[in-house]
Amino acid sequence: MGAEVMEARRYLLHRTLDTLLREDVGGCVSRARFSSQPPQGVALSGSAEARCGWLVVDAGGGVERVWLPVCPSGHMQDWRFDAGRPVVAERGGTFLFAEEPAELVRWLQPPETPDEETCLREFAFEYRTALEHRLRCEAELERLFATEGGAPPARWWEQLLHHDRLASFLDHPYYPTARAKVGFGLGDLERFAPEFQPVFTLRWMALPRELLPVHGQTRPAWWPRFEEVGLPVELEGSHTLLPVHPHTWETLWDDPALAELAKVAVRAPRPCVEVTPTLSVRTVVVLADPRWHLKLPLRIRTLGMRNLRTMKPSTIVDGHTVQSMLGHLLEGEPGLRGRVLLTEEEHGGAVEGQPLLGFLARRYPESLTDETIVSVAGLAASGPDGRRVMRALADEFYAGDVRRLFDEYVTLTLELHLRLWVRYGIALESNQQNSMLVLSRRAPHLRLLLKDNDAPRIWPERLARHACFASVPGQLKDRRIVCEDEDALARMFLTITLQLNLSAPLEALAARGLLGREEAYALVRARAAEVLGTLEREGEDVSAARRWLLESERHPVKYLLTAATLRPKSLTGAADINKFYGLTGPNPLRQARP
């Protein structure tokens, strides 16, 4: 086994163990006892860190006990894996050392039903895929940095693609096998993944209009005509053209669920419209007019074996409804007007009951020209010159002052999302991919750009205080968006805005010496207190937000691996696998002080 493979295996085992501890898989924290000493009879070197030791868990799956080497953690969990020592299991008086994550999960959480056994096998497959994909992508990163140099491109959309590519080499902060794009082989990575930034051409089909209702009337100028894709022009009167990702196209017609639809679908013989992928993989940039991005279903799974990257009609309609509401809302907030940009997400359509057949055409603001656009996911990424993206942005726009850039980002993020929560009863799922920093030498301050807001949480009771928005909850197709109390808003805000968009980059940048961790959390706390104070002076009730954000001992944590891969829905009861929580995270702002 080569050194690269060994290192990748250690890395993935480390990430998985941290996740198991964070999500208390098999009760590995709640059922454990702490020991400062290793198992008797096993010679293991101690940790250099004080208060480190082992969590000892009574187990199953063929072993009696598991010894997990841990050290205290203040970020997202009480304990983190101590990578300097192995995991040890006892079996009949002998000791085993865990090397495979699925093996460890089996020890901690032995499957008792066929569904649980299937979940464990799927996790083992996801792990192997993550290992394979990581190795290939790391080789591509090495090749990229060896051949690319100089300044990033000048046009805004080239900047976006440049930074998306750098971000694609980073893992999701909290999902351990995030590198796995299950459904892509290695060749598919090179043909369709953002790490390789390939250019490819879309496939097309014509469907009867009654099967593909299109939301929005603004058809992009680059949208092909029937004859351009090799179809009779006579079909224009009765059919609608549907773009299809070429990876989906290759296996689409083998799907038995599409047998009836295949009888009326007219497959275009000619590919048309060149695109290149963004960080989200299934969203591509239209190279003929890069202000337009297309979101297309893919038969792949990312961030969990139950996260199939398909589309439903409801997400297209709801995304436009929410984005339109946000546009009107921001116009009425002088402190946010012009500081938060939104994409236009009106034009799209999907076939009911066929999640692989749909599209969303997303348009970026006309005002963008030479801006530098970076997703939050890319702030800690490395560039070809060795600098982290955050460092490069600070050097270009803030005279090298990383702290000032971070402060502006924190302040605007909290001004936006706390105001949405406290005043309007809205919490956006504007995660690291969907929240973007916009910087320009023509603008005095940083701005934010938001896209893809089709799965927020909205509390009608609070939103109804604003008559112009009171009808919005009733327009939403996905009823999971509508919540019944403030706690649902808090969970969304804390797990997305605080943990993903603020804490995750803070921790990554602090680990690389670009920020002081304690100082940065003190800054976040101070800015949150200032925003809440302003809202209180404006007459808003901030008591719940202040209690959740600043005073509570524990914060909710998304149990991503548990809900998306390790446990069947029948056991988690999760209506939405991406919103399954445990109240187990230490609150990093409770003790933070300037």
- 469-491 pLDDT tens trace: 999 999 999 999 999 999 999 99
How much is the average pLDDT of 566-579?
89
In whole angstroms, give the CA distance from residue 186 to residue 209. Answer: 37
How much is the average pLDDT of 547-558?
97
Nearest Cα to Cα of residue 36 among 46, 23, 28, 24: 46
pLDDT reading at 50 higher than 80? no
- 86-127 pLDDT tens trace: 899 999 888 988 888 999 999 999 999 999 999 999 999 999
Partners of 54 in beta bridges: 35, 69
How much is the average pLDDT of 135-152?
87
Backbone angles phi, psi at 40, to 5 degrees: -60, 130
How much is the average pLDDT of 65-75?
94
Rounded to whole angstroms, what are the CA distances from 460 to 195, 330, 415, 472, 483?
A: 41, 18, 21, 8, 7
pLDDT reading at 346 higher than 80? yes
pLDDT averaged over every residue in the chain: 94
pLDDT value at position 48? 63
**What tokens were used for 569?**
């829905």
pLDDT reading at 47 higher than 80? no
Contact 459, 424 (CB under 8 A): no
Confidence of residue 594 (pLDDT cuts 50, 70, 90): low
How much is the average pLDDT of 25-39?
94
Whose tokens are 């969203």? That residue is: 283
Q: Which residue has the higher pLDDT, 288 or 370?
A: 288
Domain spans of the chain, in order of start: 3-108, 374-586
pLDDT value at position 49? 73
- 438-458 pLDDT tens trace: 999 887 789 999 999 999 999
pLDDT reading at 333 higher than 80? yes
Whose tokens are 């446990």? That residue is: 567
pLDDT reading at 135 higher than 80? yes
**What tokens were used for 580?**
């399954």
Q: Which residue has the higher pLDDT, 100 or 243?
A: 243
- 182 by DSSP, 3-state: which? strand
Contact 387, 374 (CB under 8 A): no
- 9-19 pLDDT tens trace: 999 999 999 99
Give percent of the chain above pLDDT 70: 98
pLDDT reading at 234 higher than 80? yes
Q: Which residue has the higher pLDDT, 575 or 511?
A: 511
How much is the average pLDDT of 425-448?
93
pLDDT value at position 575? 82
In whole angstroms, give the CA distance from residue 297 to residue 306. Answer: 15
pLDDT value at position 46? 63
pLDDT value at position 149? 66
pLDDT value at position 151? 63
Nearest Cα to Cα of residue 181 among 272, 277, 274, 98: 277
How much is the average pLDDT of 318-338?
96
Query: What H or E segment, with its residue span, contains residue 94?
Result: strand 94-97
Q: Give the end-to-end CA distance of the chain in Å, rounded to a whole number.
A: 49
CATH code that applies to domain 3-108: 3.30.310
pLDDT value at position 433? 96
Domains 3-108 and 374-586 share a fold: no
63-72, 159-168, 211-220, range with the lowest pLDDT: 211-220
Contact 321, 475 (CB under 8 A): yes
Contact 554, 589 (CB under 8 A): no
**What tokens were used for 407?**
């402060």
In whole angstroms, give the CA distance from residue 227 to residue 235. Answer: 10
pLDDT reading at 262 higher than 80? yes
pLDDT reading at 245 higher than 80? yes
Rounded to whole angstroms, what are the CA distances from 190 to 126, 196, 198, 423?
A: 19, 6, 7, 46
Contact 117, 111 (CB under 8 A): yes
Q: How far is CA 394 from the centre of its chain?
A: 24
**What tokens were used for 23?**
């999500």
How much is the average pLDDT of 577-589?
94
* DSSP letters for 327-392: HHHHHT-TTTTTTEEE-EEEEEEE-TT-TTSEEEEEE--TT-SS-EEEEGGGTTPBPTTS-BHHHH
- 268-325 pLDDT tens trace: 999 999 999 999 999 999 999 999 999 999 999 999 999 999 999 999 999 999 999 9
How much is the average pLDDT of 47-66?
87
Name which CATH class applies to 374-586.
Answer: mainly alpha
